[in-house]
Structure 1
């Protein structure tokens, strides 16, 4: 499972859109996103990741020759994200990001691409406070709507991953960016409609 697939799953956790902006000749309507484009086609991410694949196999049962029967539930997406961040030691038991662990792991995996390492590390750092705030709001809403229901996995990791990949997309290093109209429109939408941190 690639980071861009994780991003698409994480975005399912909900983003409120409510503004309208103009980019060049195109009007950006935050209520109506442009045609969906795979973020990895515009901004090359880190590619296939062993930890994400292992977690997908564990949580989704993927990898045994069968494809999941549709997008995962929000609960499953939360568990997948939690598995990825805890297995990678990116998050501790108190749901705090371990930025030095993140930087160290990415530096080891991408030793020849400091631009990617820096962009991803900055995205994680920027997203933690925003993700903590979003988590508090979500938990309060869940308590009001379903006070007795206990979540198997906290949505925090999914919120962090969704935000991180949006921030990375918005600040994609030049050498990883694809210049075309669809990507420019997607970037303008993500940037101007307040997606990410």
Structure 2
């Protein structure tokens, strides 16, 4: 998955690092997140892959009335995340990950970086139960709000919740050899860790 897609999904799910700068403060104020920073500039992830690109073309290319380069709707982001996880065989049953497939795929693609593979696998594992709980809360709220309404989202938000959580968890536990040491990244990591983003 490309860093921009990860960031986009995270932003849409409300787990991004945005709004006002808080440089110079010794404690983190969770009500005032630090200045927006692209997580991929602080912690290198796996980069672009063929599955993510194909899903982006299929899902984003099929959306009518979408501004090119603009953020997709929540439903479109959910479908993109679902496409990525199902095509990669990371998820085979609704709301259930296949951690063996995740570890196997990551090990094959990153055979020279076992630390990255282990960190990502642990992030997926840690986020699965939390993502299932968040989905249950969202579905309960939607059912209360949509009584009498027929429109349902095209795709379950589970995959988007899962990817947002996984990449925030990976960011919090970024391997040293993939981390960029600077004040902006350190502040972003402190905010994500102290304010409970991710799992």
Taking structure 1 as the reference length, the TM-score comes to: 0.89
Partner Cα separation in structure 2 for residue 10 and residue 112 of structure 1? 28
Q: Shift of the alpha carbon at 1:92?
A: 1.1
Distance change >3 Å, CA 101–CA 13, structure 1 → 2 = same
Q: Shift of the alpha carbon at 1:94?
A: 2.5
* 1:30 is the counterpart of 2:45: no
Partner Cα separation in structure 2 for residue 47 and residue 120 of structure 1? 13
Alpha-carbon displacement from aligned partner over 1:119-140 (angstroms, at most 9, x marks no partner): 0000000000000000000000
Unaligned stretches of 5+ in structure 1? none
Contact 1:99–1:121 (8 Å) recurs in 2:
yes
Partner Cα separation in structure 2 for residue 16 and residue 129 of structure 1? 21
| Aligned ranges 1:22-171 → 2 under 5 Å | 25-61=25-61, 68-147=68-147, 148-171=150-173
Partner Cα separation in structure 2 for residue 14 and residue 38 of structure 1? 14
Partner Cα separation in structure 2 for residue 187 and residue 31 of structure 1? 15
Taking structure 2 as the reference length, the TM-score comes to: 0.88
Contact 2:8–2:71 (8 Å) recurs in 1:
no
Partner Cα separation in structure 1 for residue 118 and residue 166 of structure 2? 12
Moved more, 183-192 or 7-16: 7-16
Unaligned stretches of 5+ in structure 2? none
